[in-house]
Amino acid sequence: MKHKNQRGAAAVEFALVLPLLLAIFAGMVEMGVLIYNQQVLTNASREGARAGIVQDPTINVDTIVQNYCDKHLFDLKSGNTRTPTVSTTSRGNFQADYTVSVEYDYEFLLPQFFGFDVDKRLVASTTMKMEDVPASP
């Protein structure tokens, strides 16, 4: 007789726990995307710094960084419609520091369901030494 009274208990318990499990899973996915985007910004700043230290004035570092981010950055809310902000120091002489910084405002999707607008500013910066000017042939 005891089993007849417990027949729907598992379904009710599952219905109570399912929203919590889905929220935890969605949070894990969201954090994974956030960490992925931080790594993309770090790589973009490295690519830009590496291109900028070669003393070639025809190289546009901002374009290199933007192109890298266009190919790899995304967020769950707006797709890839937002662009990062790129800043660089002026190019100096041999062995001078050259820095490329990239900033991106990541918008979380999960808090939107509860009426919150949550952003996280991701920042990556790379500093490298300027290379020597190549000798003319």
Q: Is residue 22 part of a domain?
A: yes
Please, are residues 86 and 118 in contact by the beta-carbon 8 Å criterion?
Answer: no
- Reading the block at residue 130, the tokens are 């300027």
**To the nearest whole percent, how much of the chain has pLDDT over 90?**
48
Task: Find the mean pLDDT for residues 110-126.
Answer: 84
Q: Is residue 135 part of a domain?
A: no
Q: Is residue 15 part of a domain?
A: yes
Q: Is residue 59 part of a domain?
A: yes
- Is the sign of the CA dihedral 6, 11, 14, 15 positive or negative? negative
How many domains, the chain? 1
Please, are residues 19 and 52 in contact by the beta-carbon 8 Å criterion?
Answer: no
Domain hosting 115: range is: 2-129
Q: Is residue 136 part of a domain?
A: no
Q: Rounded CA gap, 82 and 73, in Å?
A: 9
Q: Is residue 134 part of a domain?
A: no
Q: What is the pTM of this model?
A: 0.81
Structure confidence by residue, pLDDT tens digits, 30-51:
899 999 999 999 999 999 999 9
Residue 19, exposed/middle/buried by CB under 10 A (0-12, 13-18, 19+)?
exposed
pLDDT of residue 90 exceeding 50, the answer is yes
Task: Find the mean pLDDT for residues 85-108.
Answer: 90
pLDDT of residue 76 exceeding 80, the answer is no
Please, are residues 38 and 59 in contact by the beta-carbon 8 Å criterion?
Answer: no
Per-residue pLDDT band at 81 (split at 50, 70, 90): low
